[in-house]
Each structure stands twice: as C-alpha cells, then as structure tokens.
Amino acid sequence: MRPDRRRVLLVGGHESRDGRCLPGPVGPGGPEVRAVGRDLHAALVGRDRIVAVPMTLGRDPELPAVVAQTLRWAARERAPGDLLLAGPLGTTGHLVGWIRGAVTRALRDGPPRQAVLLVAPAAGPEPDAELFRVARLVRQYTSVRWVEVALIGGDPDVDEGVERCLRLGADGVVLVPASFVPVAPRPGVRTAGPLLGPASLATLVRERVAEAEHRWDRYGDDGLATVHHEHGHSHEHGGEHGHGHGHRDEHDHTDRHRDPSVPVTANLKGAASHVG
C-alpha cells in the first residue's frame, strides 16, 4: 500500500451480521471488513491513515454515530486527519430505490399476481418498524399489489410471510433481501439476488471514501463530529448536518434523505445507478 493511501474499513452492524455478510478484502490494499465495536477498535491500532465506511443500507441510523465514537477515542493519540469517517453507504431513501430496482428485475418473469416479501434479520423495534415503512414506500412507487415484510429470527418469519402473501391472493411470492444477509431459498418461492452487485457496491464504497477525503482536504472536517444525533431517531432528522463551517458540503447527499417528509421520488435521484 502506498504511504499516501488510506486503509479503508467497511464497518458492519446488524444489516450484515456485524460484517460477516460483507465481502472480504479484494486484492492488496482493498477494503477490510470490521464489526462495529472491539473489532473496529483493534483495527485502529497503529499509525495507518484510515477511512471508515459505515455499511448501512439505511436501517441502522445509529451505526455512523457508534463508529464515530470509536474513531474519536482512537483519534486522541493520532495526528489530525489520520482517521476519517465516511458517510453511510446508504439511507432509507436509497434502500427504497435499490429495492424497487430489485423488484422490477425479479417481476419480469412469473405470474402477474406476484407478491414481494422483503426479508431482513430482526434487529429491534425501531429498525424492524422502519422495514415496514420501507415496504409501504416500495408499494407506493411500484405497480406491485402486495409488498410484505418478513424478519429472520423475528415475527413474522419468512414462512409466515410467504403464507400471508398466498392468503392475500398472490399467485407467487418473490423473496427480496432488504439487508446484506442472503435469503435462504424455499421450494416453490422465487428469490431475488442481492440488492447491490459487487461492482455497484465497490463503486459506492469508492464514492463514500472520496467524499470523506474531499471533505477533509477542503474543509479540514474528519467527519467525527457530524453524527451527534439522538440514538434510534436519526432517520427523523433532516440532512442539514453542520460541518462547523457555516455551510453544507455538496457531497453530504448521503444524509439528506432521512427526513420522511421529503418525497421519496426526490430521494431516489441517482439511486438507480447503483443497483445490482
């Protein structure tokens, strides 16, 4: 790795089973996968310059704040700018767009009266409720009659979700992952691929890293002081994240979709360019 190049850490939370469902390093100097918490802290030991990317698709609004806390602790003994926090990979606005793309691809074949079942691991009352909200928005902006939710390890589980779709009158069900966790196939039920293919995911990571480096080079902002939100309510705040410079960076579009009052059609601008 060149001396001037930063190590890139992809930090996973509940949407990727603490990083276990994220891709590993790709080639020398490629991104490393770390779990939030002690695993991330261990990666910060040493003198490498690092940029950390919170790998949330939008249902883990606490992840950036928790990552920032770990980086702030390690930064006390580091030179300014050694540790940078990138914006989250995605927001719920992006997630709705990615799911819409997956649904469009999945429904090209199959019976006309198909139901979509969004599947993700159970993570707690608020992120689980957010998935139901996402399902409602997907249904609003697609031509699908049924968009339901199933929670791996939660209620309703996947089998219950499939049964509900069939009871509602669907002639078929398509399972669509709403996290990084793969969805186990089931007999007689179609399963869509991941929301983001490897190339799209790599492009998004590069964009977040470039935004973080630009923010530091231009404004001296390491990103560590921009995520002091109420835990569990970040998605309800607007995207006016102050950088301490009396302006909003032109690249902080990764956060401006968290206010549910913003029309989803505006949120999805550009999201379709990063589907699997």
Predicted local distance difference test score (pLDDT) of residue 195:
93
The alpha carbon dihedral of 35, 19, 211, 44 has a sign of positive
Predicted local distance difference test score (pLDDT) of residue 65:
96
Asked if residue 50 lies in contact with residue 9, where contact means CB atoms within 8 angstroms, the answer is yes
Alpha helices by DSSP H, the chain: 38-43, 63-75, 92-106, 125-140, 158-167, 198-219, 264-267
Q: Strands of 50-54's sheet, edge to edge?
A: 32-35, 7-12, 50-54, 83-85
For 33, phi then psi, to 5°, come to -100, 130
Which amino acid makes up residue 113? R
Query: In the beta sheet, which residues pair with residue 120?
Result: 151
Predicted local distance difference test score (pLDDT) of residue 111:
73
Residues in the chain: 276
* Residue 25 CA: distances (Å) to CA of 3, 8, 32: 19, 10, 5
User: How does pLDDT run along the chain (276 residues), one tens digit per residue?
Assistant: 444 689 999 999 999 999 999 987 665 667 999 999 999 999 999 989 999 999 999 999 999 999 999 999 999 989 999 999 999 999 999 999 999 999 998 888 767 799 999 999 999 999 999 999 999 999 999 989 999 999 999 999 999 999 999 999 999 999 999 999 999 999 999 999 899 999 999 999 999 999 999 999 999 999 998 655 433 333 333 333 333 333 333 333 333 333 333 333 333 333 444 544
Q: Strands of 190-191's sheet, edge to edge?
A: 146-152, 114-121, 172-177, 190-191
* pTM of the predicted structure, to 2 decimals: 0.81
Query: Using CA atoms, how far apart are residues 105 and 117, in angstroms rounded to an integer?
Result: 14
CATH number assigned to the domain with residue range 92-191, chosen from the 4 options 3.30.1240, 3.40.50, 3.30.70, 1.10.20: 3.40.50
- Per-domain residue ranges for the chain? 7-90+197-274, 92-191
Predicted local distance difference test score (pLDDT) of residue 134:
97
Predicted local distance difference test score (pLDDT) of residue 24:
73
